[in-house]
Structure 1
Amino acid sequence: MKDARDIVKRPIITEKSYDLMNEGKFTFEVDKKANKIEVKQACEALFNVKVEKVNIVNVRPKKRRVGRYEGFKPSMKKAIVTLAEGQTIEKFEV
């Protein structure tokens, strides 16, 4: 199995994900090859919490243009992790 820090790359902090934190849902960018079971085990190991559910979204690359040059932003895999009742990740609290 991969290291937990290789599976969970970074948190995603947006207005929508910040509103989901009040419901006990936290959003992370994860490795493209990771599945729900690996993400669940990695979050439980890294943050010492009990994970109830994991939803995964493959984010397609967006087209970008700079002058006459066109390209794409990189694609990524995003995981929305639902924690058990009363659980929270302290690093996200403001």
Structure 2
Amino acid sequence: MTTDIRKQKRHPLVEAITIEGREVTEAVLRRIKGKDIRDMERHDSDLDKTAFIICRLAGWPPEAFDELDAEDIDALGKIIEGFMGRRKRAA
């Protein structure tokens, strides 16, 4: 089964990270689903929720979040907010 690329959002990382021995230079986030939201809500802090959902949607192991640059965390969080309809779209 292939993933529809229209349901993905790419973000070039400010700083490359290493995941499982390979260099990663971009995050490819799939759209969020209800199950993802349910699982995210099981985490206590906002930071833990952010870490969980970024890694879940990017298909990364949880420890990858710790390697991300703060600017990338902010940008990826905004993409996810857009998926959830929390950001106003520019006219």
- What range is the shorter-chain TM-score in? 0.3 to 0.5
Structure with higher Rg: it is 1
Q: TM-score, normalised by structure 2?
A: 0.32
Structure with greater helix share of residues: 2
Q: TM-score, normalised by structure 1?
A: 0.32
